[in-house]
Structure 1
């Protein structure tokens, strides 16, 4: 047993995120474990780009209001205490609502060192549609 010291806060890279996003590594997998985890903080309207994970992803919201959306238009509004699972290969994005901060713990397993396939940014149209769908 040992205390896992979180890594320093880093700005979310612009090739994976839109808006004000900060990450802290919580745990990096050490063989035989495949689990990586990070605390991710999103400013209002900040979000990931479209992406998928070879072994799925679990998101646990710790603060604020967030959105998780899939290519087929399914949208979940995440509140503090909620957990959302995206299955392997499902293209999705997640981030804060337009008027709230959001923080989540992201849990993902790697497959041969690969944790995600990153795609294009979420369009303003798709982002606004997700906000509207959860605030009607």
Structure 2
């Protein structure tokens, strides 16, 4: 058993992310161990990850606000507080805040995260 206390995860809390995100995003690293990374991530309205995939998959737990998630080839799907999302290993996807709403989620990522291109405004806005 390992207890990770706030401020002991080895990273600065609430770091603004820009290289692999679009818009205003803050990621608060909570810890890493045995190939698992934990982070609390806040997305401003319209902010989102780039396309990416996880070597071992990813579990998201929406904590507050309303957002979107989209798998490659699909359409953005709404997320709301309490939702859990499992993205299997290798599935290309993105997630972020809604067009007019913030979202915060807990991300549990397994293995390496492989970052790809930015999500275009057209891809983000495909809410048909």
TM-score (norm 2): 0.90
| 1:2-60 residue CA offsets vs partner (Å, 9 max, x unmatched) | 442254110012x200000001011211xxx2221000000000000000001000010
Q: Is the 8 A contact 2:59 2:109 kept in 1?
A: yes
Number of aligned positions between the proteins = 123
**Distance in structure 2 (CA, Å) of the matches to 1:77 and 1:122:** 16
Unaligned runs of 5+ in 2: none
Q: Which has the higher strand share?
A: 2
State which of 108, 122, 126 in structure 2 corresponds to 1:125.
Answer: 122
Q: Separation in 1 of the partners of 2:119 and 2:4?
A: 37
Is 2:39 aligned against 1:38?
A: yes
Structure 2 residue corresponding to 1:8, chosen from 2, 7, 13: 13
* Counterpart in the other structure of 1:20: 24
Which 4+ residue blocks in structure 1 deviate beyond 3 angstroms? none
Report if the CA contact (8 A) 1:4-1:27 is conserved. Answer: no
Distance in structure 1 (CA, Å) of the matches to 2:114 and 2:87: 14
What is the aligned-residue RMSD (CA, Å)?
1.3
CA distance in 2, matches of 1:46, 1:82: 19
Aligned-partner Cα distance in 2 for 1:125–1:9: 29
Task: Please show how residues 22-101 of structure 1 align to structure 2 within 5 Å.
Answer: 22-29=26-33, 33-101=34-102
Cα separation, 1, equivalents of 2:103 and 2:55 = 25
Secondary structure of the structure 2 residue equivalent to 1:60: strand
